[in-house]
Amino acid sequence: MSKNLEIDPEEFRVPPGRKVRLRQWPTQVKPFYASDEDYEERLERHIKELESMQDRFYAFNRYALLLIFQATDAAGKDSAIKHVMSGVNPQGCQVFSFKQPSAAELEHDFLWRTTRSLPERGHIGIFNRSYYEEVLVTRVHPELLGAQGLPEESGRDEEFWEHRFTSIADLEKHLYRNGTRIIKFYLHLSKEEQRKRFLRRIEEPEKNWKFSMADLKEREYWKEYIKAYEACLSATNSDRAPWYAIPADDKKNARLIISRVIVDALKDLKMKPVKTTPQRRQELRAIQKLLSKE
């Protein structure tokens, strides 16, 4: 394997404590694969590593892992989750997609609906969109806040968003202290690449279901969304819950980067092998004798 094609996750990690300017972050980088065949082989190696690490993670049962995916439309969140997590045991992994809140969800605070879906120890939870929608979509469309029944003193000014950022940061600190490790991916797509993908969704019948006029309408707010993401990443990035800005114009490259980040994060946990107690070994030997006599 060429060293020139090795992935350093730190290259894509957003530095904590700095204001994010997404214009300074690339939407495309030099591929970490030499050909389509090479891409398949590299992704398969990452998937097998992830599969092996998940078994240890599940058995160790001291941590939970939460993977958050955020992006503009057509950035490739769904396909990244599908390809990268294809080798993961479904018994130890759950995917939740958060779209428009239901009437019941609107009767609670903005963190309630996602908190109910947090992964348990030994499990991997994937949020396809998340509580971050409440500082992204609602910031671009503040009229949506009217349905949340918030008290008048909550306001709608800059302080309001700072309070929401603080609530999110406090939640992530709490989760970290209690064993949940959080990795957040922002798939950084260019406006031109989004245009091309929208056209393919129209031109290819099997992809027509992925596109609607609402998607085109949201595209008109591109600049507003970029500003919202910049504020979000700047305010909620930390060593405990890092953001990774993934160049998303090349879907294959994005999948390789994401899978490398996840595998390395699991390795960093330095999980100890689960040891069998003397009592458990005695029990197993007794079971072995019974089975041998059958």
Higher pLDDT, 68 or 4: 68
Mean pLDDT value across residues 208-214: 88
Segment 39-92, tens digit of pLDDT: 999 999 999 999 999 999 999 999 999 999 999 999 999 999 999 999 899 889
CB under 8 A, 24+ apart: contacts of 216-224: 218/72, 218/73, 219/73, 219/191, 219/194, 221/140, 221/141, 222/72, 222/191, 224/139, 224/140
Segment 239-255, tens digit of pLDDT: 999 999 999 999 999 99
pLDDT at 3: 57
Distance (Å, whole) CA 120 – CA 208: 36
pLDDT bracket for residue 290 (50, 70, 90): confident
Q: Which CATH architecture has domain 3-293?
A: 3-Layer(aba) Sandwich (3.40)
Specify the DSSP element, H or E, that contains 195.
helix 191-203
pTM of the predicted model as reported, rounded to 2 decimal places = 0.92
Helices (H) and strands (E) in the chain, counts: 11, 5
Check pLDDT > 90 for residue 109.
yes
Torsion of Cα atoms, 79 then 232 then 269 then 13, to 10°: 80
Rounded to 5 degrees, what angle do the CA atoms 181, 71, 198 make? Answer: 150
Measured in whole angstroms, the distance separating CA 254 from the mean position of its chain's CA atoms is 13
Coil/strand/helix, residue 243: strand
pLDDT at 2: 55
Measured in whole angstroms, the distance separating CA 189 from the mean position of its chain's CA atoms is 15
Tokens encoding 43: 């992704």
pLDDT at 187: 98
pLDDT at 142: 93
Check pLDDT > 80 for residue 155.
no
Mean pLDDT of the chain: 93
Bridge pairing between strands 180-188 and 124-128: unpaired
Which residues on neighbouring strands pair with residue 263, listed in sequence order? Answer: none
Contacts of 281 (CB under 8 A, 6+ apart): none
Distance (Å, whole) CA 190 – CA 168: 27
Higher pLDDT, 68 or 158: 68
Segment 113-135, tens digit of pLDDT: 999 999 999 999 999 999 999 99
Coil/strand/helix, residue 27: coil
pLDDT at 211: 87
Using alpha carbons only, how large is the chain's radius of gyration in Å?
A: 21
